[in-house]
Amino acid sequence: MKVILGVTGCIAAYKSALILRLLQEQGHDVIPVMTRSAEEFITPLTLEKLSGHRVITDLFEDHSPEILHISAARASDLLLVAPATANILAKFAAGLADDFLSTLYLSTTTPVVIAPAMNVEMWRHPATVSSVKTLWDRGVVFVDPESGYQACGERGEGRLADPARISSAVASVLQGTRSLEGKSVLVTAGPTIEDVDPVRFVSNRSSGKMGYALAAEAFNRGALVHLISGPTALDPPPGVKVTWVRSAKEMAEKAYSSFPSADIVVKAAAVADYTPVDVAAEKTKKGSSRWMLELQRTEDILLELGKRKDNQLLVGFAAESKNLVENATEKLQRKNLDLIVANDISQTGSGFEANYNQVVLVDREGLAEESPLLPKSQIAKQILDKVEVLLQRASTVSEESNES
Ligand code: CTP
């Protein structure tokens, strides 16, 4: 496939040569486009020699009758901008077209993947945050920058994502089935952490693997994915918007604010059911005997989402050690869900922390479908296949009721 690689002016521009190579290794024909300021950081000759294409920078450099930005846009399958500066994000968001790359962005109808890179304060600036949000809402896929040492000497978020993550996001976009294109999917994943004092906490064994696999699969199917994650040791899937939370309370706040704009909500997180009544500001010194820790119930986020449900398709999980289907069905009804994924946590090699899972999918009609023991990535496919069937069913029902 043909990928246009847009390179903009920041120090990470030198990494564009590696990104170009990785895309070629995937079998793509890469056409480089550079902004004027990118040329200050890497010479067009480098990308020209690697790609075998003339590097386009100037809107007016070509005097052939062909309109270059239109023909480039039509002849390509994807536009990747890596690294993308705050300036190009602002231009794309505002629809400015004052150079070749921004004009190309406006004329392309292909998927757009952007990997930003900039100083941490520039990345956090409300102007940049709002450009990213505008573009994300338009369906642009972001490969978020990473945290670490920056060329300016500061540390923090803003460093260009690993080139391998960028090329794998491109691969997912190009290979995906696009069956969830236009859908907004909210996934919660991982454990929550309930602080007891500055050094101790109450949590659970969730690794986040199932939720992350669901987020990755939804992204592969073309959805706009927002992952709300508790602390995990995993790298979030590229292309997915991530909001990090710690406690059940924080997860609830973020889930409630993102819920109205979601079409599909998958609540894979293992939310703590109890949290300490008091969080001590100082480390609690050990006494001579027992420590009675008083816990109170957290809010059941899924139950609340079920009450607020409008047109969203709501998927919950049920971790059970006995009476799997009965308990899951009771949760499905009580929490007003469309689908529940039940897993038997008494089974070894499946569920919490494991790479594999075996689940039963129970829908509102009481149909229970049992999966074999499969890698979580395969279970994610089965869950989303079922979600697509339910979406299809819901749209047929609404068409029939409109006709009558
Ligand atoms: N859940 C939630 N908020 C909570 C607890 C659970 O949103 N405070 C969600 C989980 O994300 C999951 C579902 O509820 O999708 C079921 O979680 P599970 O722990 O199996 O069940 P509970 O409803 O907490 O009931 P119990 O622990 O009594 O089995």
Domains observed in the chain: 2-174 (3.40.50.1950), 184-274+291-403 (3.40.50.10300)
The mean pLDDT of the chain is 93
Q: Which of 326, 331, 334, 345 to mutate to test the pocket of ligand 1 (most atoms within 8 A of CB)?
A: 331
Q: Which of 249, 296, 301, 330 to mutate to test the pocket of ligand 1 (most atoms within 8 A of CB)?
A: 301
**Could you tell me the distance, in angstroms and rounded to a whole number, from the CA of residue 206 to the centre of ligand 1?**
13
d(CA 337, CA 312) in angstroms, rounded, equals 10
pLDDT tens for 371-404 read: 988 999 999 999 999 999 999 998 887 777 777 6
The DSSP call for residue 40 is G
Identify the sign of the CA torsion 256, 261, 265, 270.
Answer: negative
Measured CA angle at 208 (ends 205, 211), to 5 deg: 135
The response to whether residue 273 sits with its C-beta less than 6 Å from ligand 1 reads yes
Q: Which residue in the list 1, 152, 171, 295 is annotated as catalytic?
A: 152
pLDDT tens for 299-328 read: 999 999 999 999 999 999 999 989 999 999
- Which CA distances in Å does 93 have to 27, 43, 96? 31, 27, 8
- pLDDT exceeding 90 applies to what percent of the chain? 81
The response to whether residue 301 sits with its C-beta less than 6 Å from ligand 1 reads yes
32-58: average pLDDT: 94
d(CA 276, CA 184) in angstroms, rounded, equals 34
d(CA 230, CA 249) in angstroms, rounded, equals 11
Containing H/E element for 45? helix 44-51
Atom of ligand 1 nearest to the CA of 248: 8
203-227: average pLDDT: 96
Confidence of residue 95 (pLDDT cuts 50, 70, 90): very high
d(CA 355, CA 368) in angstroms, rounded, equals 23
d(CA 319, CA 360) in angstroms, rounded, equals 11
Residue 10 falls in the annotated catalytic set: no
402 or 112: which leads in pLDDT: 112
pLDDT tens for 227-280 read: 999 999 999 999 999 999 999 999 999 999 999 999 999 999 999 999 999 999
Helix (H/G/I), strand (E/B), else coil: 222: coil
Q: What is the pTM of this model?
A: 0.87
Chain centroid, CA 296 distance in Å:
32
Confidence of residue 349 (pLDDT cuts 50, 70, 90): confident
